[in-house]
Amino acid sequence: MILFLYKTFKIAKIRLFLLICMLFLSLNISAKEAQDSVAKKGQSVLLWIKQNTNAKYSLDGNYSSGNVNRLLVANRLTFNYHFKIYEFNVVANYIYGNQNKIKTEDDYFSGMTASIWHHSSVYIWGSVVAEKSYSRGIADRENAGAGFGVNLIPKEKNRSLSLTFGYVYENTNFIALNDIKTVRTSLRIKGKHMFLKKKIHLNHETFLQPSIISSENYRLRTLISLEIPLGKALSFRSSYQYVYENVVSQGKKKEDNNLTFGFSCMY
Please give the average per-residue pLDDT across 14-25, as a whole number.
Answer: 49
> Can you give the three-state secondary structure of the chain, one letter per residue?
CHHHHHHHHHHHHHHHHHHHHHHHHHHHHHHHHHHHHHHHHCCCHHHHHHHHEEEEEEEEEEEECCCCCEEEEEEEEEEEEEECCEEEEEEEEEEEEEECCEEEEEEEEEEEEEEECCCCCEEEEEEEEEEEECCCCEEEEEEEEEEEEEEEECCCCCEEEEEEEEEEEEEEEECCCCCEEEEEEEEEEEEEEEECCCCEEEEEEEEEEEECCCCCCEEEEEEEEEEEECCCCEEEEEEEEEEEECCCCCCCCCEEEEEEEEEEEEC
Is the pLDDT assigned to residue 4 strictly greater than 50? no
| Nearest to 116, CA basis, from 55, 25, 200 | 25
Please give the average per-residue pLDDT across 222-246, as a whole number.
Answer: 94
Contacts of 119 (CB under 8 A, 6+ apart): 85, 151, 154, 155
* pLDDT tier, 267 (very low <50, low <70, confident <90, very high otherwise): confident
173 contacts 188 by C-beta, under 8 angstroms:
no
Please give the average per-residue pLDDT across 64-80, as a whole number.
Answer: 91
107 contacts 124 by C-beta, under 8 angstroms:
no
246 contacts 209 by C-beta, under 8 angstroms:
no
- pLDDT value for 158: 78
Which CATH superfamily is 2-266 part of?
Answer: monomeric porin ompg (2.40.160.40)
> Can you give the three-state secondary structure of 80-125, one letter per residue?
EEEECCEEEEEEEEEEEEEECCEEEEEEEEEEEEEEECCCCCEEEE
Q: What residue type is assigned to position 60 of the chain?
A: D
Provide the angle, in degrees to the nearest 10, between the axes of the packed helices 45-52 and 2-41: 120
pLDDT tens digits along 142-161? 999 999 999 998 877 678 99
**CA–CA gap between residue 148 and residue 116 (Å, rounded):** 10
Burial 216-246, CB ≥16 within 10 A → b, else e: ebbbbbbbbbbbebeeeeebebebebebbbe
The structural domains of the chain, with segments of one domain joined by +, span 2-266
Listed range (23-27, 71-75, 119-123, 260-264) with the worst mean pLDDT: 23-27
pTM over 0.75: yes
Is the pLDDT assigned to residue 8 strictly greater than 60? no
CA contacts within 13 A on the Cβ side of 148: 6
**Backbone phi, then psi, for 39, in 5-degree steps?**
-65, -40
